[in-house]
């Protein structure tokens, strides 16, 4: 409806979401990260699954928490996942780093420049803390 006022984030109900992000970018030189999403409130990451469709040997990928979308690196949310074999890979989020601060970004960081890797990362997040 036209003229509807926006609702402040503090008035939203709890969020429980599954977010999927395909990747298949050419990442050259220093451009080895992809910003995935912005945390408008404190979020907890409960699960991370990588799907690798086209491989690149010796390449790894890792989700990181960063303060800006253009960050070259941030705080690792899990151990790096190899992109060298086609398949589905569940990785365990670090229990010491899976709480994302409001105002931060989740970025996908590759270990090197890449032109070949294609896949998807699926992340389950929630805003309700235990």
pLDDT for 25 equals: 66
Percent of the chain scored above 70 by pLDDT?
94
SS3 24: coil
What phi and psi values does residue 11 have, to the nearest 5 degrees? Answer: -100, 0
Assess whether pLDDT exceeds 70 at residue 79: yes
pLDDT band at 1 (very low <50, low <70, confident <90, very high): low
Helix-strand-coil percent breakdown of the chain, rounded to 5? 0, 45, 50
Question: What is this structure's pTM?
Answer: 0.88
Segment 6-40, tens digit of pLDDT: 777 777 778 889 999 998 767 766 568 899 999 99
CA dihedral (39, 124, 110, 81) in degrees, to 10, reads: 150
Domains of the chain, residue spans:
14-126
Q: With contact defined as beta carbons under 8 Å apart, do 54 and 87 qualify?
A: no
CATH class assigned to 14-126: mainly beta
Q: Is the pLDDT of residue 50 over 80?
A: yes
More confident residue, 117 or 27: 117
Q: The tokens of 120 are what?
A: 């998807």
C-alpha dist (Å) from residue 52 to 6, 11, 27, 45, 78? 39, 38, 16, 20, 17
């Amino acid at each position: 409806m036209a003229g509807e006022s926006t609702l402040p984030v503090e008035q939203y109900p709890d969020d429980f979401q599954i977010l999927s992000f395909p990747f298949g970018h050419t990442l050259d030189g220093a451009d080895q990260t992809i910003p995935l999403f912005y945390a408008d409130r404190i979020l907890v990451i409960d699960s991370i699954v990588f799907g690798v469709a086209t491989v690149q040997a010796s390449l790894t990928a890792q989700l990181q928490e960063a303060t800006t979308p253009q960050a070259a690196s941030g705080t690792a949310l899990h151990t790096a996942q190899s992109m060298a074999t086609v398949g589905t890979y569940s990785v365990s989020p670090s229990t010491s780093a899976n709480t994302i601060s409001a105002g931060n970004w989740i970025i996908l960081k590759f270990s090197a420049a890449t032109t070949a890797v294609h896949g998807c990362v699926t992340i389950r997040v929630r805003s309700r803390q235990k």
